Structure 1
Amino acid sequence: MADTADQKKKSTHRRRVRLLPPPAWWPLPAAAVLGLAAGGAYGVLKAPEYAATSYVVAVPDDTTEPATALGFAQAYARIATSSSTLAYAQPRAGIAVAQLRTQVRAETSPESPMIAITGTAKSAGEAADIANAVADALSLSSNQAAKNTGVQLLLFNQAVAPTAPASASAPLSGAVGLCAGGLLGGLWMLARPAARRRGEPDGQTVDSGAVAAPEFASLPAQGDHSETKEKESVR
C-alpha cells in the first residue's frame, strides 16, 4: 500500500512538472541566438564586396562664376549613371551597361564642386576599373560642351584597388544579427497579449484541494452546530 501511495505521489508530481509553462522571458534569448546564427551565416556565405572611389572636380573658366561650377557639378553627378555615360565607360569597364549601372554610384556635396564616383565589385581591381572608367567617360562627355557651359570636369584623383572589402565581416554580421534578434524578442514580449501578462506567474501550480480546504475549514463542524442548538434550547 505504501508503494502504491508513493507511486501516485510521483505520478502527480510528474504531471505537475510537465504542465509547467516556459519562463516568460524565453523569446528574448531564443530570438537573440537565432539572430546571431543568421547574421554569422550571412557573413560567411556572402561573397565579399569591394568599393573604390575616383573624384572629378568641376572647374570654371575665367568668365564663369564659381557658383555656376557648383551647380554644374550637381547636374553632372545626376548624369554620371545615365545610359550615355555608361556607354562610354563600358569598353574600359569590360561589363555590360545594365550590370555596370548596378555597380556604380555618384555622389556630390552641395558645398563643393567635387563628384565622387564609386565602383563596387567582387574583386578589388574590378571595382577600381569601374570607378575610373565612369569618371573618364563623364569627363570626356561633359568637356565636349565646356565652351558653351564655361565649366570643365577634371580628374582630381583616380581610384585605386582597395586592400579590404567594404562589406561587413562575419563577426560584424553576427553582432548585428544578435542585436536585431534581441530587439525582436523584446518587442514580442512587449506586444504579447495582455491577458497573459495579467495571468498567474510562470511556474505557479494551483492545487484544488489546497484552495478548497480553507473554504471548508471556516465552516463549523456538524457536531459543533448541534451542540450550539442544544445550548440555545436550554437557555
Structure 2
Amino acid sequence: MNLNEIKVIAFDADDTLWVNETFFRDAEIAFAKELSAYGDEEDIVRILLDTEIKNLDTYGYGIKGFTLSMLETAHRLMGDKMNSEITEFILEKGKQMLAEPVDLLPHIELVLEQLSKKYKLVVATKGDLLDQERKLIKSGLIDYFHHVEIVSDKKETQYKKLVKHLDIKPNEFLMIGNSLKSDVIPVLAMGGYAFHIPFYTTWSHEQVDEAINHSKFKALSNAKELLEIL
C-alpha cells in the first residue's frame, strides 16, 4: 500500500462525519408503534424496508423518500381506514427528522483540520441535495472541503466521474466511509483506496456479507486513526 500517491481524500457524510442512521431507526420504531393495531411491529418495519428499497429508483435516498415510503406503507396496511391523523403523524415525523441537529462524530473536526493541510478534501455522499447541503452548512465543516459531490447513488461509474472531475488518477484517490457497499467496494473496483470506519448501526440495504481482502483497503475503528496512518 503506497499511501504517498494519495492526493485527494473523500469522506462520506451520513454516519461518517455526523450521526444519521439513528434518526431513521427511531422513526421506524415510532411508525411501527403508531400502526401496531394493523400488524406485528417487526413485520411493519420489514414492510417499510421493502417499500423503501422498491422506491429507491423513484425517490432516491434520504428523509423525503423515507417519508413517502412511510405514507405508502401506512396505506398498504390500513387501506380505507387511513385517515388524516396518521398522515399528519407521518409528515410531522419527516419534518422532525429534517430538523434534527447535526451531531458530529468523535474526532472528525480535528481529523479534517489536520488532513486539510496536506490533502484536498472532498465530500462524496448520496441523498437529497437540499437536505445534505443543509447538514453540511449546519455542521460547520464546509470550509475544510475543496469540493462537494452529492449523487443519487454511489457506484463505480459515479466515482470514475468524480476522479475525472478532480483531474486525478484513481490511485490518487482515497474514500473514507461507513458503508462497505457504497464507500469501499466500488472505489476498490476502479483502482482507488478505501478505508472503512463502521458506524454502530447500518441500514440493512447497505450491509454486505463478503469480507474485504484488498491491498488498498483498511478497516479502522475511529476517524482519529487516520492521523496515525496518513
Q: TM-score, normalised by structure 1?
A: 0.29
Larger radius of gyration: 1
Q: TM-score, normalised by structure 2?
A: 0.29
